[in-house]
Amino acid sequence: MPMMTAFTFPGQGTQYAGMLQQLPSHPVVRHSLVEAQRVLDQSLGMLDTPSALTDTRNVQLALLICGVAWGRYLQTLGCTPDYVLGLSIGAYPAAVIAGSLSLADALTLVDLRGRLMREAYPSGYGMLAVTGTARRCVEAAVARCQALQLPVYLANINAEYQFVLAGEHQGLQQAVGLIRAQGACSSTLLDVAVPSHCPLLARQAEQMLDACNAIEFQPPGCGYVSAARARVLYQPQAIREDLALNMARQVHWHDSSQMLAERGIRRVIEVPPGSTLTGLFRRVLPGGQCYAVASTQLATLLHGNRT
């Protein structure tokens, strides 16, 4: 019996300069790159330079193109997903690989998404990862900050003791101080310039919904998992709304990965450029095969570790 497989697609913070120059040499990849360049009407080399990647619009487009190119390449090699699951912007390449959204339409939507997010919060805001503490401690610190009128929110629940906060930089640092007052933890300011997955982007999410409503979506060819709802979606309208509104919705990655484990997933492949999602999945699928394409030999990805 074939092993049940899920593809995961990372979000912002995983990008690096030159990522689009390191894609596989294969006709399906070249076709994807040509299509992307045609739709965007710009050289893709202008998306992944160090200076270009300071712009969230370029980051999101580069992640979309990279995810679709790698996903299609794996599919040509016979590695096809039963489910796809994307984190934030990763939901867009997930929808393309599932067959629910065309690459051309995804490029148009992500171009708009990036511009809306950039213009909403050009500076002073971002996201911060917190690990090694309990959820109740994080929620208490966030509630305290909000009582002080500081725009800070719990954006991602990635694992039992791993969270991401979103908001204004000063508020994020105050929240970390409050969390540390309750016990030891570590924190890292992420390479993300926008406070995603919280009400600060509610207005931009509604604008995205208007744009998505003008796009034709198809029923997916595999299970599309909403990281915001921790549910498998099969209806085009449900996927449309999930993509449009995910920028303002809390991410429930831990619940989503647990749900897939309960559905019988035994192999999880994280599409480049990320590897963090692989580590998260190993915690809920200790007996499964969890691979990041960026650090795994192709034979292992296709056939598993036989040692």
Q: Is the same domain home to 13 and 54?
A: yes
**CATH number of domain containing 107:** 3.40.366.10
Torsion 47-52-54-56 (CA) sign: negative
Q: Which residue has the higher pLDDT, 259 or 274?
A: 259
* In a domain? residue 134: yes
Same domain, 112 and 132: no
Query: Annotated catalytic residue: which of 100, 187, 197, 256?
Result: 197
The Cα–Cα gap between 187 and 87 comes to 20
- Mark which of 170, 189, 208 sits at the end of a domain: 189
**32, 88, 187, 226: the active-site residue:** 88
Is residue 32 within 8 A of residue 65, CB to CB? The reply is yes
Indicate if 23 and 62 belong to the same structural domain: yes
| Residue 306 vs residue 206, higher pLDDT | 206
Pair 52, 113 in one domain: yes
Distances (CA, A) of 227 to 8, 50, 177: 11, 29, 28
Last residue of a domain, one of 189, 209, 241: 189
- 90 and 172 part of one domain: no
What number is the average pLDDT over the span 13-29?
95
Provide mean pLDDT across the span 75-96: 97
Residue 197 known to be catalytic: yes
- 256 and 231 in a common domain: yes
Structural domains in the chain (count): 2
Out of 163, 189, 215, a domain closes at: 189
Contact 300, 3 (CB under 8 A): no
Q: Record the pTM.
A: 0.95
Residue 307: pLDDT above 60? no
What average pLDDT does the structure give for the chain?
95
The verdict on whether 123 is a catalytic residue reads no
Q: Is residue 194 part of a domain?
A: no
Give tens-digit pLDDT for 39-72.
999 999 999 999 999 999 999 999 999 999 999 9
254 and 180 in a common domain: no
For residues 9 and 4, give the distance between their C-alpha atoms in angstroms, rounded to a whole number: 17
In this predicted model, what pLDDT tens digit does every residue of 191-223 receive, in sequence order? 888 999 999 999 999 999 999 999 999 999 999
Q: Is the pLDDT of residue 304 over 80?
A: no
Q: Write the CB contacts of 197 (distance below 8 Å, at least 6 apart in sequence).
A: 88, 153, 155, 156, 164, 166, 246, 247, 248, 249, 250, 251
Same domain, 148 and 258: no
Domain hosting 17: range is 5-121+199-303
Domain co-membership, 270 together with 293: yes
Residue 110 included in any domain: yes
Asked if residue 289 and residue 226 are part of one domain, the reply reads yes
